[in-house]
Structure 1
Amino acid sequence: MADFSKQFVLFHTEGCHLCEIAQRMVAKEAIDYQHQDICDDDQLADKYGVSIPVLYDSLNNKELFWPFEQNDVQKFIGA
């Protein structure tokens, strides 16, 4: 599995319109986060292939699965 340099990771893939929506939501929160394309890692593709976008908290090992709203992102990151 990939090594994550940031606490928050947005799992996505290219051409995923839901991932683009999720990215805009996360960006609104002005947090430092990492993008991780699941197609770059077979384990991530197996785990999240039908679930993306997923926001992952690497410090607390928590996942926020789509569908989510802006207030869900805020709660998840502790804003």
Structure 2
Amino acid sequence: MAELILYGSDGCHLCEDAETLLVQAGAHFVKQEILNDDAVYQRYSLRIPVLRDPADGTELNWPFDAEQVAAFLAER
């Protein structure tokens, strides 16, 4: 499974909640700060946190729960 990307921002409590869910699910992911890239910011600023599979571009938008994370991971 390719490493997933969690788009978010420091200080975003929803992003922290999403990260907790991903860790509990055993997901392999990297966090990407949206403020470091204008294009990424424009795409995700109103939607964070967003989990993205760079292999196929599939995204899981917040709000999501443990069951949705498990289903997303199972599809990978």
- Per the normalisation by structure 2, the TM-score is 0.91
Please tell me the residue identity of whatever aligns with 2:23. Answer: A
Structure 1 position 7 matched with structure 2 position 3:
yes
Give me the whole-angstrom Cα distance separating, in 2, the residues matched to 1:76 and 1:60: 12
Partner deviation per Cα, 1:8-56 (whole Å, 9 max, x = no partner) = 0100101100000000000112222111000111111000001000000
Give unmatched runs, 5+ long, in structure 2: none
Counting aligned pairs with the same residue, the percent is 34
- Residue 70 of structure 1 is aligned with which of 55, 60, 66? 66
1:29-48 map, 5 Å: 29-48=25-44
**Which runs of 4 or more aligned residues in structure 1 lie more than 2 Å from their structure 2 counterparts after TM superposition?**
none
Report the secondary structure of 2:51's partner residue.
Answer: strand
Give me the whole-angstrom Cα distance separating, in 2, the residues matched to 1:26 and 1:63: 14
Aligned length in residues: 74
- Residue 47 of structure 2 is aligned with which of 27, 47, 51? 51
Please tell me the residue identity of whatever aligns with 1:25. Answer: L
Give me the whole-angstrom Cα distance separating, in 2, the residues matched to 1:21 and 1:31: 14
Please tell me the residue identity of whatever aligns with 1:41. Answer: D
Please tell me the residue identity of whatever aligns with 1:47. Answer: R
Report the secondary structure of 1:64's partner residue.
Answer: strand
Partner deviation per Cα, 1:51-78 (whole Å, 9 max, x = no partner) = 0000001112100000111100111111
